[in-house]
């Protein structure tokens, strides 16, 4: 059984069909890309997966369960986490608090323990603090732990957002244009980081990205979306030589 199965998924906004009869399967442990021109519907797919939008038609099966209609926090609790095309941190909180918030959904103490400040609350908070610092170390942000998140440089905010997503302890990580705004060296470092966290955290990853060097360098399989429909799928070499893909990006028919 695939970890994620998107079956004939459609989403309409009035008369506009943003996603049409989408079919995607992702197996556990895979690193898969979802690419396409601007406005192709990629982020809409992520919003459907994570409960931001309700589907119009179709099914979203995650770990054998239908997740359509669930709230975003319920989807996260099931094991799906995401980053955003436009960074969405708790900008006025500290770096470490951004990560600790992610861990609190799986805190090993009850609300009563927190209100009464029972020993289980302090033990749970100590565990969360350690886990959060361990994540910040991985992303080379440990020395910025007490800084306000909005004061971080852009690239470090990107890394913090990924760290926060990992703090929810996901099985499937959705990365929405993680290389946006990065220079070539930062993109190369990000490529290595994505590979590493996939192995280290035993994750399955679905990646939206416009930087083709990153997509071709890190993804094992790629789906190509155009006008809300899949026009191609395959391994990187198949995708980069596919006439339909080239036409979608260049806006002209390719003769082969």
pLDDT for position 199: 92
What digits encode the pLDDT tens for the residues 215-254?
999 999 999 999 999 999 999 999 988 998 888 876 654 4
What digits encode the pLDDT tens for the residues 56-87?
999 999 999 999 989 999 999 999 999 988 88
For the chain, give every domain's residue range. Answer: 4-79+170-250, 93-156
pLDDT for position 256: 38
What digits encode the pLDDT tens for the residues 172-207?
999 999 988 888 888 898 899 999 999 989 999 999
For residue 22, what pLDDT band results from cuts at 50, 70 and 90?
A: very high
Q: Give the pLDDT mean for 42-50.
A: 94
On the question of pLDDT at 10 being above 50, the answer is yes
What digits encode the pLDDT tens for the residues 92-121?
999 999 999 988 777 776 788 878 788 887
Structural fold of domain 4-79+170-250: Rossmann fold (3.40.50)
Q: Of 48, 106, 47, which Cα lies nearest the Cα of 77?
A: 106
Q: Give the pLDDT mean for 150-178.
A: 93
pLDDT for position 251: 62
């Amino acid at each position: 059984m695939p970890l994620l199965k998107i079956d004939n998924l459609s989403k309409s906004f009035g008369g506009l069909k943003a996603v049409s009869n989408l079919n995607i399967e992702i197996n556990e442990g895979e690193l898969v890309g979802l690419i396409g021109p601007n406005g192709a519907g990629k982020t809409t797919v992520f919003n459907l997966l994570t409960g931001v939008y309700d589907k119009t038609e179709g099914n979203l099966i995650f770990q054998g369960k239908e997740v359509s209609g669930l709230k975003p926090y319920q989807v996260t609790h099931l094991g799906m986490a995401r980053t955003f095309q436009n960074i969405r941190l708790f900008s006025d909180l500290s770096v470490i608090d951004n990560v600790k918030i992610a861990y609190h959904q799986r805190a090993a103490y009850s609300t009563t323990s927190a209100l009464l400040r029972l020993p289980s609350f302090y033990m749970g908070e100590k565990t969360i603090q350690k886990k959060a610092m361990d994540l910040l170390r991985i992303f080379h942000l440990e020395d910025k732990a007490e800084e306000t998140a909005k004061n971080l440089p852009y690239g470090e905010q990107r890394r913090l957002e990924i760290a926060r997503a990992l703090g929810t302890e996901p099985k499937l990580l959705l990365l929405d244009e993680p290389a946006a705004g990065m220079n070539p060296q930062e993109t190369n470092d990000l490529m290595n980081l994505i590979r590493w966290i996939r192995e280290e955290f035993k994750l399955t990853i679905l990646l939206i990205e416009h930087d083709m060097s990153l997509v071709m360098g890190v993804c094992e399989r790629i789906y190509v979306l155009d006008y809300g429909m899949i026009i191609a799928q395959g391994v990187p070499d198949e995708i980069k030589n596919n006439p339909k893909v080239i036409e979608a990006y260049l806006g002209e028919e390719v003769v082969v």
